[in-house]
Amino acid sequence: MNTNTIIRAERLCYRYEDGTNALNGMDLSVRRGEKLAVMGANGSGKSTFFLCLNGVHRPSSGTVYLDGRPLDYSKKGLLALRRRVGIVFQDPDQQLFSADVFGEISFGPLNLGLDEEEARRRVEDVIRELNIAEFQDKPVHFLSGGQKKRVAIADILVMRPDVMILDEPTAALDPKHARLVDSIIDGLSEKGMTVILSTHDVNRALSWADSVVLFDGGKVLIKDTPEAVFQNEPLLRRASLETPAVIRLFSVLTEKKLLPAGLPVPRSERQLEKYLQGV
């Protein structure tokens, strides 16, 4: 296995108790430090795949490897896994359970066996990094949706994982809190952490990701650069996605010869504006 690969799933299958086949022989590799956007229609297997990576679900068949080694599903093995691979659920209420924010973020490091001083130091560092000190003493159930999401991220970040998985991190958030969460995710990526997130926002995926993977029916349709994936209209339709607006506009401008042929596909409106300013 390539030493640059941190996670690999081989022939991964998962069947729920009601007989639903959520994953159907999935193969996927994730590079160390990669920013990977996982996309597809609801029910395509994204969340189930994430839960298999974190050991919450044990595959019906197939194997998940972390640094070349199959996952260990013993109690000790799962504890070690969740120190390295953290997941932030789409609904933070599924994750948060302590009475107050400081206690919530402290639970993970204390559960790892760290002494109280080291645990407190880690918690204070994360609170400062995510700028949540203003509500660190508040009851968790009094927080807004955006605040809960930031605390849920802090829950995982305090464990200092190698891989951070975020399932629809900005779902149901207002624009202000969505920008805050996006900024936190950008900061994780800049530090070199491997970040895997699911999203329906093709524009965000185009501008942010190193790679985009499309799921359909519990299988991988394609994993490639954002430019390659978002120009593949047949596969986008199968994944119930649309071409990003900036690529559609770029194609029109190129076809009408308002932009010269051969320019790289822009990944943001800002890049397209620079093209237009240079004409």
Distance CA 152, CA 168 (A): 13
Categorize the per-residue pLDDT at 111 as very low, low, confident or very high, splitting at 50, 70 and 90. Answer: confident
User: pLDDT tens-digit profile of 69-89?
Assistant: 999 999 999 999 999 999 999
Written as six digits, the tokens of 22 are 């959520």
List all residues 6 or more positions away from 20 whose beta carbon is below 8 Å from its beta carbon: none
Q: Which helix (H) or strand (E) holds 206?
A: helix 202-208
User: pLDDT tens-digit profile of 26-82?
Assistant: 999 999 999 999 999 999 999 999 999 999 999 999 999 999 999 999 999 999 999
Long-range contacts formed by 109-116: CB under 8 A, 24+ apart: 109/158, 109/159, 112/79, 112/83, 112/159
User: pLDDT tens-digit profile of 255-273?
Assistant: 999 999 999 999 999 999 9
pLDDT exceeds 70 at position 2? no
Amino acid at 279: V
User: pLDDT tens-digit profile of 222-233?
Assistant: 999 999 999 999
Categorize the per-residue pLDDT at 112 as very low, low, confident or very high, splitting at 50, 70 and 90. Answer: confident
Separation of CA 170 from chain center: 11
pLDDT of res. 247 = 97
Amino acid at 54: N
Distance CA 264, CA 122 (A): 43
Classified as helix, coil or strand, 47 is helix
Categorize the per-residue pLDDT at 202 as very low, low, confident or very high, splitting at 50, 70 and 90. Answer: very high
pLDDT of res. 114 = 84
Mean pLDDT value of segment 216-224: 97
